[in-house]
Amino acid sequence: MLGGIVASSYGVYTGRLMVPERFNPWAPLDVMAPPNFLTDYKMSRARANPTACMSALRQTGMTYDLVPDRATGLGCGFSNAVRLRAANVRIGPPLTLSCPMALGFFMWEKHALQPAAEHTFGKRVVAVEHLGSYACRNVNRGEGLGPNAPDTANGQRSRHATADALDIAAFTLEGGQRISVLKDWGNGGVVVSSQAPQAPQIPQLPQAQMLVDAHEGACRFFPGVLGPDYNAVHRDHFHFETGGYRMCR
């Protein structure tokens, strides 16, 4: 059995055994294909390889300019980055993002955010409001905001400092309805996640349910995801990042 698996894997790797690209772990990421069990692996490979990442980003149809690598301060700067000017949703001011972040944004918007909106409201998201991406600053963990909140002055650079993070605050649906993380997350501050079946079942308002689904969907396309339940600093936005520790909070 093991020998057969090894032989089949080698055959796929060398191209002697043909399988559809979406089921070939060594095939490049197809950003338009519905995600499957290999998507996480293919995304991790693309994030780790600047050439593969840019190749995948070209498939998205987003409009961006390549940004020269630069250092802007101690622990600050970016490489393999783009200035994202237009996406499949309105994004407001252009964003400087590392290629892995721009790729993650596209995958999340197409394969998580839009399905969440269509499932809940039968409408698509037409605009995303952000609070910025690149900024040469330290981690803000919320000093004094909770018993587990460490000091902000610990010198640890935020993933924003390398264009590896993006903060999302609100969404606009077809027809103009605006859904805000600050105003619409949860019911009275309580959110029931599908990842916590042991939690008490509290009826969700549609806006809150869409936000929960969009947040949970982001955990597939970004290694790091933080939301309002993490701490008070994040009460008004979702924080997405690459390049750091894996977390979905």
| Predicted pLDDT at 141 | 60
Structure tokens given for 153? 């002055």
Using one digit for the tens of pLDDT, what is the confidence trace for 96-137? Answer: 999 999 999 999 999 999 999 999 999 999 999 999 999 999
**Count of other CB atoms within 10 angstroms of residue 77:** 16
Q: Which residues of the chain fall below pLDDT 70?
A: 1-19, 141-155, 187-204
E-only strand ranges, the chain: 63-67, 70-73, 76-78, 81-86, 95-98, 125-132, 165-173, 178-180, 224-226, 238-241, 247-248
Phi/psi at 165 (5° precision): -150, 155
* pLDDT recorded at residue 243: 87
Give the β-pairing of 224-226 and 238-241.
Answer: antiparallel
pTM over 0.85, yes/no:
no
| Per CATH, domain 66-248 is 1.10.287 | no
pLDDT at 2: 41
pLDDT at residue 7 in the model: 35
pLDDT of 40: 94
Distance CA 164, CA 51 (A): 17
Question: Domain map of the chain by residue range?
Answer: 1-60, 66-248
d(CA 227, CA 239): 6
